[in-house]
Amino acid sequence: MDGASSPTAAPILILLGPPGAGKGTQARILQDKFGLVQLSTGDLLRAAVAAGSDAGKAAKAVMEAGGLVSDDIVIAILGDRLADADCAKGVILDGFPRTTVQAEALDDLLAEKGQKINAAISLEVDDAEMVTRISGRYTCGACGEGYHDSFKQPKAEGVCDNCGGTEMKRRADDNPETVAQRLEAYHAQTAPLITYYDGFGALQRVDAMGDIGKISSDLGAIVKVATA
């Protein structure tokens, strides 16, 4: 990567942060507000596991243990999705990159298309808070809208505010043991990316401990400038 990102026709934003920091929730809000595509490697991998593809079979046990899936698998999955036509309008990467190898692969993928990232935004939170947040969260099985037992319940119990769906899902890896492993993987392998992106002036930090609305307005302000 050769210096700070410059705005491109198709904005490329990265959300960094530990599990439970709110990357998925905030990516969905930014997607709606800015007309970008949320790209979550966690979602892509869960779909691969559900489909029983070779990548999914290789990823399943690692995901259940809270480790990181191999760079080769994740980069291939992300690269395929990034080539889809809808991504031409710009993307918010949620959960990718998670290692320096992935960050460098992303730089190369974008450089092939004459693109650079516009900003890498670090959602800053406390580890202790993360366990509480993760253990209470669930999503609508139909549209993916996120909810939480304590912080964000649907207006009518069990009914999605967004689409009216009634099948709510909790992730298998949102249990205390796996969450501890996922936090460890974050600190060992992903947190160094904060320094990586800071090194070329692309890093922005957001206090992600407070209210969802306040965090999304802070993020929105950053994205507006980064994609202007």
Summarize as ranges the residues that interact with ligand AMP (CB under 6 A). 19, 41-42, 45, 62-63, 66-69, 74, 95-96, 98, 102, 173, 182
- Name the strand (E) or helix (H) holding 16: strand 12-16
Q: Which is nearer to ligand AMP, 11 or 17 (CB)?
A: 17
Query: Cα separation of 158 and 114, whole Å?
Result: 45
- What does residue 137 show for φ and ψ, rounded to 5 degrees? -95, 155
Beta carbon of residue 199, minimum distance to ligand AMP (angstroms, whole number)? 20
Query: Cα separation of 88 and 67, whole Å?
Result: 31
Beta carbon of residue 225, minimum distance to ligand AMP (angstroms, whole number)? 26
Question: SS3 of 70, please?
Answer: coil
Q: Which is nearer to ligand AMP, 7 or 132 (CB)?
A: 132
Q: Which is nearer to ligand AMP, 27 or 206 (CB)?
A: 27
Query: Cα separation of 178 and 135, whole Å?
Result: 11
The pairing of beta strand 119-124 with beta strand 12-16: parallel
Beta carbon of residue 184, minimum distance to ligand AMP (angstroms, whole number)? 11
- Measured from each CB, the residue nearest to ligand AMP is 42
Burial classification of residue 219, based on how many CB atoms lie within 10 Å of its CB (0-12 exposed, 13-18 middle, 19 or more buried): buried
- Residues noted as catalytic: 23, 98, 137, 171, 182
The pairing of beta strand 146-148 with beta strand 137-140: antiparallel
**Beta-carbon neighbour count of residue 195 at 10 Å?**
10
- Name the strand (E) or helix (H) holding 146: strand 146-148
Q: Which is nearer to ligand AMP, 173 or 218 (CB)?
A: 173
Provide the phi-psi class of 202: left if phi over 0, else alpha when psi is between -120 and 50, else beta.
alpha
Beta carbon of residue 209, minimum distance to ligand AMP (angstroms, whole number)? 19
Residue type, 108: D
Q: Which is nearer to ligand AMP, 4 or 47 (CB)?
A: 47
Beta carbon of residue 156, minimum distance to ligand AMP (angstroms, whole number)? 27
